Amino acid sequence: MSSVSVKGLQNLESIINDIPNRTKKGIEKAMGIIYDASQPLVPVDTGALKRSGKIEEVNNGMKIKYHSENPNNGYNYAVIQHENTSFNHRVGQAKYLEDAIKSNMDKIEEAIVKEVIKW
């Protein structure tokens, strides 16, 4: 009679069970990359929009939020500043989040993958 012994299954099981935590850490790092890349691109007039940027944890995920209101009417101008490509900004640009993501896809992917496959 012969037998086979496999070692390391407990370690493998532990790694598999930790994938959600590792993925979350990777996403947190990816969000930091996006946020850091977006900051120099945020349009600046008074600086309120740029200062409003933050990373927030939400149900089952995270988001980067820019929110700045006009003190006279309460209007949140973050979205229009992001979407209106016809504005001529002295500092910054439209699509400040979108461009930060597009130009850093390799770093974003690497941050997530590195955390998930970390042994």
**Number of domains observed in the structure of the chain:** 1
83 in any annotated domain: yes
102 in any annotated domain: yes
Provide the domain limits for residue 75. Answer: 9-116
Q: pLDDT (tens digit, 9 = 90+) per residue, 10-66?
A: 788 888 889 999 999 999 999 999 999 999 999 999 999 999 999 999 988 899 999
Single pTM value for the model: 0.85
3 in any annotated domain: no
Residues whose CB falls within 8 Å of the CB of residue 42, separated by 6 or more in sequence, listed in order:
49, 50, 53, 66, 92, 96
60 in any annotated domain: yes
Q: What is the pLDDT of residue 118?
A: 77
